[in-house]
Amino acid sequence: MNNQKRPIGVLGGMGPEATILFMQKVVQAVPAGDDSDHVPLIVDNNTQVPSRIRALIEGTGEDPGPTLAAMARKLEKAGAEALVMPCNTAHNYREHICKAATIPFLSMVDLTVEHIGREFPGARIGILASPAVRMTNVYDTPIKDAGMTPVYPKDEAAILSAIKALKVSANDASAFETARSAASELSTEGCDVLLVSCTEFSFLANDLKECYRVIDALDVLADATVSFSLGKAVPALNNSRD
């Protein structure tokens, strides 16, 4: 395998276990025979990024944008040739990142919508995500622009509680039940595919795949990260200066 890999900067810590899960997925996506075959990652696992829940849902928190911009600048200075952020909700602040850096930002949102549009054109997409994702139209706008329809579970309070529980423990049984119930509801609503677009729910994605057609945005981002590092074409790049 060609050992010339482009380093990728990871804006992480939202949450820390989800960042580690993303790194594991990147490792697993490489057909490696040696350490040098893997993608070099420069990771800022910054657990001090201001809460997206408090900023977007509760309206009481500090703006995460400036912190994310500072992380982007630091990662670029450290040698990253592209940036990724394994947090769906934080993509509400991606303009801060794109303005702060001169290297490409691989948007998990744009990559995922492009992937679903290619695989399931015109789909009704059941979205398993933080309520902040719906409130900010992070996914709604690109999904509708692509001729597809977003559908959300009705009990957003239960979804938010499950996300908070998963931040405490990725094996929380009640969160699993909430996710299964939401998936069943979305399937009953006629959704063609279930989009896991909260990295905490990514811990449950394999379980959900046993019963539903599932796309995990974290998987899409991991695949794109590997492709970019290996010098392959990646669709839906933001702030690209390649």
Active-site residues, by number, are 87, 198
Separate counts of helices (H) and strands (E) for the chain: 11, 9
Backbone conformation region of residue 83, classed left if phi is above 0, alpha if psi is from -120 to 50, else beta: beta
Give the Cα-Cα-Cα angle 93, 61, 197 (nearest 5 degrees): 45
- Cβ atoms within 10 A of the Cβ of 206, count? 10
Structure tokens at 93: 């602040």
Q: 183: which 2 tokens?
A: 């998936």
Write out the E strands in the chain. 8-12, 41-45, 82-84, 105-106, 124-128, 149-151, 193-196, 214-216, 237-238
Cα angle at 200 between 79 and 204, to 5 degrees?
125
Angle at CA 142, nearest 5°, toward 81 and 108? 30
